[in-house]
Structure 1
């Protein structure tokens, strides 16, 4: 696991598409909603450019995110949660997401949001580890 600028990154044992497929399955099984899936590499191909496999999944649950936005509405810029599956120059696949504690710090969320942020962080760690086929970060 790597952490940088509020990002949590773990290596996946699977290709990008399979990693994101596994993430979809995992978040839905956890009762979360999938709002969007964006294939950045396909978008690049559409404009005649190349990009290594890169897919973004946007997911969450209004029950978890709404309290954060009630605390500081601007937190909505970082919600719902996102995870990016991407392949590096060596062909390794990674899964990256924002650390919910970083989101809380970025927006100056108060004590009222602490439980929701902690629950979000714990849940995020579990779903990305499951999708990547690794132990929890």
Structure 2
């Protein structure tokens, strides 16, 4: 491959990834977003309580701010909550095992300019990304659950 083509391809790839990675979640399709009037810590507490109350399982809570601090770096409060229900997620992964890449469900809770935000990959994204039948009941259940849990976290 000619060097100029390789450099052009690399430049295009870099520009594209920079654009995607630097764009706010609201600018990207496929996300459910919600602001919370509470701190990141309280929002995460309320989110995990709502998940557990509904009978789903919280698999992990990852405190990215603490991770950054452990290596001498600073970042705003940023926590990732991974949760799911095998009765809902398993049929989706059976339809396409690649869906396991985006399961269990993740809700990111972070502070930006003093405001707490939440974002999760919209379950409807599984339709296009993994070819999952949009009429599949577990997919519809997941859609309702994510919104319900984020609403509870923001109350």
Q: Which structure's CA Rg is the greater one? A: 2
Kept in 2: contact 1:95–1:132 (CA 8 A) = no
CA RMSD of aligned residues (A): 1.3
- Post-superposition Cα deviations, 1:25-57, rounded to whole Å, max 9, x if no partner, equal 000000000100000000000111111000000
Shift of 1:103: 2.4
For residues 44-83 of structure 1, what are the structure 2 equivalents within 5 Å? 44-83=68-107
Report the Cα distance in structure 2 between the residues aligned to 1:110 and 1:9, rounded to whole angstroms. 24
The Cα offsets for residues 75-118 of structure 1, whole Å up to 9 and x where unpaired, read as 00000101010001x2110011110001232111136x621111
In the alignment, the residues of structure 2 paired with residue 6 and residue 12 of structure 1 have an alpha-carbon distance, to the nearest angstrom, of 20
Q: Which of structures 1 and 2 has the larger relative contact order (alpha carbons within 8 angstroms, sep 6+)?
A: 1
Aligned residues: 130
Match for 2:130 among 96, 107, 111? 107
Specify every segment of 5 or more residues in structure 2 that has no aligned partner in the other structure, as ranges: 1-25
